[in-house]
Every structure is written in C-alpha cells, then in structure tokens.
Amino acid sequence: MRVLIVDESEERAAVLREGLVMAGHEVAASLASPLELLRAVEDLQPDVIVIDTESPTRDVLEHVVIVSQSSPRPIVMFATDRGGETIREAVRAGVSAYVVDGLDAARVKPIVEVACARFEEFQRLKTELAEANLKLSERKLVERAKGLLMRSRGLSEEDAYQALRKLAMSKKLRLGDVAQRVLETAELLGKS
C-alpha cells in the first residue's frame, strides 16, 4: 500500500517510515504540516494516511474532514492526547484508528491493517444505509403515485401498482422514477 505520512517531527516520521517499510508498504511522501494534506492526497493518491501528532488541532481535524469527504481512505492517527472528547472528534472527522502513545515501528503494520478493515466496513455500512434510504424514498414516491392514480382514475391499489409497473417496464425506468414523473405531471396539471 502507498502511505502518506503527516508528522511535524522528523524523528517520529522516521519511526513511522521504518515501520511502514518493514510492513512492506511504500511511503508516498512525508508531510510536516497538515495544511498540504488535501493537495498531497489529490497528487499522490495514497491508499492510507498516517498522522502523528501530540494532539490533533482544529486545523488537523478540518483537513481530515475535507479529505474524508472528497476522497475517503483509511486514516490512522497516533497521538498522545488521551482525552475522550478529542478521540470522539477525531473519529467524527474521519479517523479510522486513533492510537494513544505506543508509536513503535513493529506495531505499525497491525494498526494500519485494523484501520483499513474498519474503514472498509464503515464504507460498506455507509453504502447500505444510502441504498436503504433510497429504497425508502422510492417506496414513499410509489405509494403517493398509487394513491393519486387510485383517486384520479378510480383504480384499486393493485391496479394502480400494476399501471405504474407497466409504465416503468415499457419506458425501461425504475419504478421510483416513474412514480416521480407521475407526481410531477399531476402537480403540473394541478391534480395532486
């Protein structure tokens, strides 16, 4: 994996580089400041970001949020700050693994692997949630469109559903898209 390191301390960055190289990873770059993080991620396309800091500042967390939103990837943060609120803020910003103390070259590999696994699981859950929300939204549209057809054309619920389904199949559209069009047309005609 290609790893981007962010560490203000060259000494700590060297320990991280050693651990990553021992684990078989490629260090794409080592930044001294998080201010360069977004540009570096866009330019280098690392697989993982490892940040080492005494305590994540607001600037660091803001840059993590921006990266997590624009090009999500696993982020490991080594810090000495044990504060519960700091840890929660880091995780909310997009950090996959927050490791307090213990920056040891031999521990880097399993920590990065755990962060990657947690990131992948979070991305899977996020995708499932988005799909479930889309299905729920489409279902609501279909129910509204069925109700409209039942009122305006005097159809039974089953007949209204079949009419929507038939139209979706003939137009090669999703049922939710057809329902949306029916509702928009009714609104345009003042029949909603």
The model's pLDDT over 7-46, given as tens digits with 9 standing for 90+, comes to 888 888 888 888 899 889 999 999 988 888 889 999 999 9
At 156 the pLDDT is 94
Give the pTM: 0.72
pLDDT at 189: 87
Phi and psi of 45, rounded to 5°?
50, 55
What pLDDT digit, counting tens, does each position of 164-180 carry?
A: 999 999 999 999 999 99
133-188 shares the fold of 2-103: no
Does CATH place domain 133-188 in 3.40.50.300?
no
Residues of the chain with pLDDT under 70: 102-103, 192
| CATH code reported for the domain at 2-103 | 3.40.50.2300
Chain position carrying tokens 């929660």: 88
Q: What pLDDT is stored for residue 101 in this prediction?
A: 74
C-alpha 74/C-alpha 4 separation (Å) is 11
Q: Where do we find the tokens 């137009």?
A: 171
Q: Which pLDDT belongs to residue 59? A: 86
Question: Can you tell me the distance from the alpha carbon of 188 to that of 37, in angstroms, rounded to the nearest whole number?
Answer: 48
115-to-50, 67, 168, 182, 189 alpha-carbon distances in Å:
10, 16, 43, 46, 54
For the chain, what are the domain ranges? 2-103, 133-188
Give the pLDDT score at 192: 62
Whole-number pLDDT of residue 36: 84
